[in-house]
Amino acid sequence: MTRALTLAVLGLLWSLPALGQETKVTLAVLGFTADAKQMLVQLEDDNIGTNLRLYDVASGQPAKKSALIPFQRGESQKVIQATRKKFKIVDPGLEDTLYPLDAKDAEKSLSFFGLMAARDRFVLAVTDRQKLGKIADIEVRHDEGSDTWAKVALKTLYWTTDRKWLVAVVTQKLKADGLLTEVDELHALAFQVGAIRWVEPEPPAKPTDGDAKAKD
């Protein structure tokens, strides 16, 4: 059964005032441990700079005793390599919004996308080019002091190499009281094709007596 796990990344940014007129946090997954229980995440924050941090996938929280590891652009390769080794990040994973169903036929694949089902609900969806399916519902952020809701978009997907886990990067952009907050969130799911909730087509409407008379 597919199990959605929302990772609470920098949740305080939604409850505390921004330090400036704009706050932007971008996230990227740099790899997974062999058992896919933990992953290394790169965070770029306008206020605290660029950092690495280890996350537990199952709990959706930073790993125990895992602190932010800051680094500068010029030393990124060295720091990332050392951190991968420290936390045993042996699976580099892959970034892809497609899921191949047949290795010999590129046309046979699943394509993932996001859509707004309601102003307070964003859906991670999928299509096989013939029908639509749903993977997970994602709560939309909002300003409690007004009726303003965030604009949400699916940024990208990261997978473990065996394609058993996917991590969706969803960007929520909220403007309230003159402050713009644009934050990436990570939503991890144990993925199985058989667990996709496909949308059943509506049956054709039955003709009414009025329809029959109109034909006459």
Instruction: Spell out the domain ranges in the chain.
Output: 3-200
> Whole-model pTM?
0.81
The residue ranges of the chain whose pLDDT is under 70 are 1-21, 60, 201-216
Residue 6, token pair as written in the block:
């929302």
Q: State the pLDDT at residue 203.
A: 62
Q: State the pLDDT at residue 19.
A: 45
Q: State the pLDDT at residue 205.
A: 62
